[in-house]
Amino acid sequence: MILKNQDMDMCSGPLFGKILRFSLPIMAMNLLQLLFNAADMVVVGQFSGSKALAAVGATGSLINLIVNLFMGLSVGTSVIVSQDFGADQPAEVSRSVHTSISISIISGLIVMVMGLALCEPLLHMMGTPEDIFDLSVLYMKIYFIGIPASMVYNFGAAILRAVGDSRRPMYYLVVTGIVNVVLNLFFVIVLHMSVDGVAWATVISQYLSMLLILVCLYRSDGAIRFVPRRMRIDFHKLKLIVKIGLPAGMQSLLFSISNVLIQSAVNSFGSTMVAASSAAGNIENLVGTTMNAYYNAAITFTGQNMGAKKYDRIDTIARICTVLIFVTWFLLGGIILIFGKPLLGIYTSEPDVIELGMLRMKIMMAVYFTCATMNVFPGLSRGMGYSVLPMLCTLIGACLMRIVWLATFFAWYPTVIMLFLCYPISWTLAGLGQVGIFFYARRQIRKRAALEGGSAGEKPMSDEEVLVTK
C-alpha cells in the first residue's frame, strides 16, 4: 500500500480548498522562477544597457523551441505517476520514477548538444539584429550548458507534484533563485561581465536545483524514493510516458515555432522593439505562470481520480479551475495594466522602450483569460489520457493561425498592433477547441464506463486510444 498524505487526498472530500492549496506553492514557484529569470534581464538592462537586454530577450523563443519537445515528456511523468499513485500501486510508481529520471538525463544531454550546435544558425534565420547578435550567441551557448540539470529538476518536480507534494519544489527554487540573483549582481556589477555573467549565474543555479531535487527524492519514503542503482528505463513505462508526454512536447514545440516566427517579426522593428517586447513579455508572464499552476493541478487531480476510478469528480475539477482562471485574470491583469509603466521601468529607463512595452501589454491583457483556457484545459484532457487531440488543437487553432496571420494581415499592414493581435486571436480559437476536447473526452469516458460495468465510477478505461492503461 502507498501511504497517502491525508492533508492532500485528491480522491475524496471537497476539492476547491485542496486544488487551491496544491496550486499555491506551484504558483509561488512559477512566479519566483519568473522573477529570478527576470533578474537576468533587469541586471543586464540596468547595468549593461538596452542592447544587452535585447540580446537576452531575443533568445527566449529560440531556447523554448529547442527545449520544449523534451521538456514535454515531464507531463507524461506527472500523468503516469499520478495514475499509479491514485491506483495504489507502489511498484508501478517506483518504475515510473526511475524511468523518468533516466529519461531526463538522456534528454538533457541531447538538448544541450542541439542547443550548442544550432543556436548560431537559428539566430541568423530569425533575423536577429546585428548589433545584438554576438551577445545573443554568447548567452545561448553558456545557457545550454545548464540544460541537463534543468531537465532533471523539472522531471523530479513533476514526480513530487504527482503525489501531491507541491511545496518542496518551491522551497528548492527559492534557494536556487536567491543564489542566481546574488551571482547575477556579482558577475555583472563586481566583475563587469555582461550577458555571459547572467548566463553563468543561471547555469550554476540550475545544477544546484538538480542536486536538491535528487537528494529530496533519495531521502523520500515509499514508492517515490530514488535509488541510483535502480535507475533504468522500463520500456513499458517509457511507452506510456511518451504517449502522453510527446504530444504535450509537440504542442510546446509548435507554440515555440510560431513564437520564433513572431520574434522574427519583432526583430524587424529593431533592437528597441526587441527590448520592449522582451520586458513586456516578462511582466505578462506574471499572469501566465500563475495560471500555469492550475494546469499542473488539473493534470494531477484528474490523473489521481482516473487511477482511483472516480470519474465524476473530474467535472468538479474543471469547474474549479475555470473559476480560478477568471479570478486570476481579473486581479493580476488589472494590476499589470494599472502599474504597467513602473513595472517596465524596472527593466529600463528608456521612454521609447516603455511606451512600446505598454502598447503590447494592453493588447495582451484585454483577453488573457483565453490564453489560460487554452493552457489549463489540456491538463484536464491529459489527466484523462488524451494528449494527441490537445496537440492537434494547438497546431490548428494557435500555431497555424499565427502563421496565417503573419502571412496575411501582418504582411498587408506591418504595424506593431497588427503583429501583437495574433496572440489574442489565436488564444481564443485554441481555447474554444480545448474546451470542446475536454467535453469530448469526458463523454467518451462515461460512455465506455457504462459499457464496461455500470456507473462512471466503477470501471477504468481499457482502450489505449483514449486512456493510458496499466
Q: Cell 544597457 sits at which residue?
A: 49
Backbone torsion region of residue 13, taken as left when φ is above 0, otherwise alpha when ψ lies between -120 and 50, otherwise beta:
left
Per-residue pLDDT band for 465 (boundaries 50, 70, 90) equals very low
For the chain, how many residues are written?
Answer: 470
Give the number of C-alpha atoms closer than 13 A to the C-alpha of residue 346, restricted to the C-beta side: 15
Q: Tell me: the pLDDT tens digits for 407-425?
A: 999 999 999 899 999 999 9
The DSSP annotation for 79-148 comes to HHHHHHHHTT-HHHHHHHHHHHHHHHHHHHHHHHHHHHHHHHHHHHHTT--HHHHHHHHHHHHHHGGGHH
Residue 148: pLDDT over 90? yes
> Is 386's pLDDT higher than 50?
yes
Rounded to an integer, what is the distance from CA 281 to the centroid of its chain? 15
Closest residue by Cα to residue 5 from 175, 168, 244:
168
pLDDT in tens, 340-355: 899 888 877 888 889 9
Please tell me the predicted confidence (pLDDT) of residue 349. Answer: 80
Cα–Cα distance, 438 to 359 (Å, whole number): 34
Residue whose entry in the numeric block shows the C-alpha cell 523520500:
220
Residue range 195-238, pLDDT digits in tens: 888 889 989 999 999 999 999 999 888 888 888 888 888 888 88
> Which tens digit of pLDDT belongs to each residue from 265-278?
888 888 888 888 88
Cell digits for 399?
500555431
Sign of CA dihedral 42, 47, 50, 51: negative
Of 8-22, 60-74, 250-264, the range with the highest mean pLDDT is 8-22
Please name which of 418, 315, 327 lies closest in space to residue 368, comparing C-alpha atoms. 327
Query: Of 37-41, 315-319, 380-384, which gets the smallest average pLDDT?
Result: 37-41
Sequence-distant (6+) residues with CB within 8 A of 342 are: none
| Residue 24 buriedness (CB in 10 A; 0-12 / 13-18 / 19+) | middle
pLDDT band at 8 (very low <50, low <70, confident <90, very high): low
- pLDDT(463) > 50: no
Give the start-to-end residue ranges of the domains of the chain: 14-453
